[in-house]
Amino acid sequence: MKPTLRLAAKLLSSLLPAWFFVVALAFTLSIRCAAQAPVPDSPAIEAQAQAMLQKMSLEDKIKLIGGVDGMYTNAIPSINLPRFKMSDASVGVRTWGPTTAYAGGVALAATWDRTFARELGEGLGRDARARSVNFLLGPGVNIARSPVGGRNFEYLSEDPYLNGALVVPFIQGVESQGVIATVKHYALNDEEFNRHDANVTVDERTMREIYLPAFEAAVTRGHVDAVMNSYNMVNGAHATQNKFLNLDVLKGDWGFKGILMSDWDATYDGVAAANNGLDLEMPGPRFMNSRVLMPAIQSGEVKESTIDDKVLRILRTELRYGFTSRPQFSPEYPTYSAADRAVALKGALESITLLKNEGRILPLDPAKVKTVAVIGPNAWPAVVGGGGSSEATAFAPVSLVAGIGDLLGPNAHVLYARGLPEMRDVFRGTHWDGNVNVDTFPSNDFSGTPKSATQWNMGEFRGGQWLPPSREPRSVRYTASYKADQAGRYLLLAAASGEDAFKVLVDGKQVLQQGRAEGQVPEYTSLDLGAGQTIQVQVDYVPYADGTRLGVGIAYEPDLVSADAREFAAHADAVILALGFNPETEGEGHDRTFTLPWGQDALAETVLAINQHTVVTLMGGGGMDVSRWIDMAPALLHLYYPGQEGGTAAAEVIFGKHDPEGKLPVSFDRSWEDNPSYKWYYGTPGGNTVLHTPGDNGKGHDYTIEQIKYGDKLMVGYRYWTTTGKQPLYPFGFGLSYTTFRFSNLHAPATAASGSKVTVSFDVTNTGKVEGSEVAQLYVSDPSAKVDRPERELKGFEKVKLAPGETRHVSIDLDARAFSYWSEASHGWKIAPGKFVVRVGDSSENTPLSGDVTLQ
């Protein structure tokens, strides 16, 4: 600064008040914060990356393309490159201690709110910065093809357009905070069972129209800077070494310039992965390491330029974010954030979906409800999200009990009962008719001479306790008799852990089975027994671990419901019944059941019979079986997994402080058998094959590959229901409100040039007495199509908040893709000219407005 300017600045500073400098400092900090968002690629960044590459030895290059210490990239001292930190994140930045836990995944999709998606991404980005995290390992955008998919709760919806519309602002929000978002799991990782060894066989059109568009949107519109490959195989090749997915589509068709990383331990062949697009093996270089790659490079099997491309992708991305020139942590990002609690509450409020409200029982009047009973396994403690790598520990999660109690205040009486016993109590409380015979065989197939013993129970259930793998083969057969004290329905419950396998037979007939898999949930069935009836129970158990983790029990269903739950339900003015899944019954590594977890149907039937003013709440990643009691329930709310503020949000909706505005992001099936994926989901009988892949120990491994044929093709979710004319229990896009809305005045051009923009407009009016939000959904039909197409497909939506009597004019632009299908013959998107129908309404099945558009 020149002397005259320095003197002028000193004089000015003596005249201005102190608060001016506080404001100026805050403004400077905000500018600095904003400047930490990534900058575009430039010649300067390219030159710097190339200069760093030239200084690296081949050993350094190979080192950089493998992770270290579980959640870090490798440091390269020769170019002064530090290591960079990662964190799992679907609902919260969960790897590094307590955090803000948001309503993410399926709950985000239920908001149908692009603005909130951006706010959620920004909140996660701030939380990441507070923990010095550079890479956020989310969002997940796989399709909810089936309701039993174990990680549906982490993903978004059954619809590719909705997924794409929400993932773009989410990514932009995360990356605006100077954090790399990682879209996952690429691709077709739509079930958790046997995920390492499943081969998805699918045609290209189905991939392009259903399973890839959300990833395409993340790359081409969201400009995501990292993509994570999945565990499974696609058409014969693991995703991490799949040329079609990684080179032809991701880096070819879509022009992806960022980092393609593996899921943790999802790499199976170092040379194949290196040659087919994988840039970064996580959590460490089991396969893409010097032992494997150096000789491959020397022999010409892998080109050094291939390794250079991976290194440059990593360096360019890290330079664009400024990771090498600034600390990732900054004190303006708090570890505990009150502002982000507000974001978490907003997401929970917007996602809660009202599915049934007979007699307008909701909202409850807090002035009239003096005693409320909150009953059920999910009433307390707070259920924040599902299980696995996305499970976040919130600082102060609000349970349903606490949320209702806090809203009603000291003048109301809140009663709480879990309503059901713990699983261990069922096992311990089973009174077998005599001793349990235990035969332990020196093999895994019940062959050989067993050692026999007796004991009072079946197994020794240890929950999720880890035990070392068995050193010797072993299989155990338990046999016992059970005598029913009274006639009625009995629960037969069995559970093990990890990769243990078992099957249960009653009177020689198999009734339960758990195969060897990465994870599992309790299995159960109902038995109708007469008074005094005796049954023979046999359990064949093959433990994976060096110990016993099996539990088996039988209980009379009416006795499962606790006495305090019955008493509280009888005395309450209203009951809130909290059912559904939790991190133990829905999570990574295993699929979940379509039926509710054991005992919950009996609890629902009992409470609903006692108190007709019962509101049922569900938690879970999508639809579930409610058939046993839905006709008895006057009100049903889907909470999904609402994050740390779920209890507060549910209370505000139940008692009318907030209008329910969530819409189903999935079809809610009546039964698992009704779902279009049912007959295809668990593989082709007899279709499994054995695959040998090179091992990290040089000896290799044999894998039994399960063949999963996507025979349902385009008929996923509502596409199936609207095409066949059948109906689910509740359709995609459905959600009730405390007010009412009307759609009117549709305007669409009668004709348009093929490939041009088509604008559709209409009015939405709040015809009720309270403020509310409606999601106007636009579907496109192609009745003159020459190829098979779904009857309708979502191609636009707009969420509007309206005061009573207010009307909003909505315009939605449809681009060429909205009318296109993927032509395998021409290998591209194609529009067949002719008549199209645009339909507008509030769900996939309720579209009161429609108009014809002819594309010429």
Catalytic residues: 263
User: Within 13 Å and on the Cβ side, how many CA atoms surround 573?
Assistant: 13
Residues near 790 by Cβ (< 8 Å), separated by ≥ 6? 714, 715, 719, 720, 722, 723
Nearest to 160 by CA among 207, 204, 202: 207
Coil, strand or helix at 72 = strand
The amino acid present at 847, given as its one-letter code, is T
Coil, strand or helix at 216 = helix
CA–CA dist 457, 459 (Å, integer):
6
CA–CA dist 337, 98 (Å, integer):
12
The amino acid present at 3, given as its one-letter code, is P
CA–CA dist 208, 186 (Å, integer):
13
Let me know: does 834 contact 784? Beta carbons within 8 Å: yes
For every residue of 553-610, which 3-state class applies, written as one string? EEEEHHHHCCHHHHHHHHHCCEEEEEEECCCCCCECCECCCCECCCCHHHHHHHHHHH
Tokens (6 digits) for 239: 């995703």
User: Would strands 475-483 and 509-514 be described as parallel, antiparallel, or unpaired?
Assistant: unpaired
CA–CA dist 334, 126 (Å, integer):
8
CA–CA dist 539, 501 (Å, integer):
10
CA–CA dist 518, 501 (Å, integer):
11
Residue with the two structure tokens 């062949």? 269
CB burial of residue 147 (10 Å; 0-12, 13-18, 19+): buried
Let me know: does 441 contact 476? Beta carbons within 8 Å: yes
Let me know: does 503 contact 512? Beta carbons within 8 Å: yes
Torsion over CA: 682, 687, 688, 693 (sign):
negative
